[in-house]
Amino acid sequence: MKNICILTTGVLPVPATKGGAVEGLTELLLEQNERDFRNKFAVISIFDENALIQSKKFNYTHFLFIENSKIVNILDRFISNVTTLLLRKKSSLFNSIFSRLTFLRKTRKILLENNFDYILAENNHSLFLVLKNKRLRKKYL
């Protein structure tokens, strides 16, 4: 049995309470593992109250939820509003810069504090920035 950590995108939660194709597929994988119990999973996900409630149904998956501070949310809204004014149109490119950085920083800390056999980075190449940390590269690559 392997100990596998799934790094979600940090945009939508797992369990997939707010939708998302990759988040839904991840949840299906975890549900299948509940039936077969072949691996122990840890899932690093953005916090959502409903996802926290739904995560209780999983016995073989440990969810590590990352919640943003109020200041991070304020900064993200500010950047989003400024770029909307400057570009004269709404763009999702700048919606969650500080949230992403917070998610990556906290993910890095979780990976340093735990030992996993495998890390599965889900659908976002920026997750590999976590591995810029020399100790994590040595530990997981």
Q: pLDDT tens for residues 13-29?
A: 999 999 999 999 999 99
CA angle centred on 129, ends 98 and 63, rounded to 5°: 75
Q: Summarize pLDDT for 45-56 with one digit per residue, the tens.
A: 999 999 999 999
Computed from CA positions of residues 91, 97, 103, 108, in that sequence, does the dihedral angle turn out positive or negative? positive
Q: What percent of the chain is predicted at pLDDT more than 90?
A: 68
pTM for the whole structure: 0.89
Residue partners of 91: CB distance under 8 A and separation at least 6: 83, 84
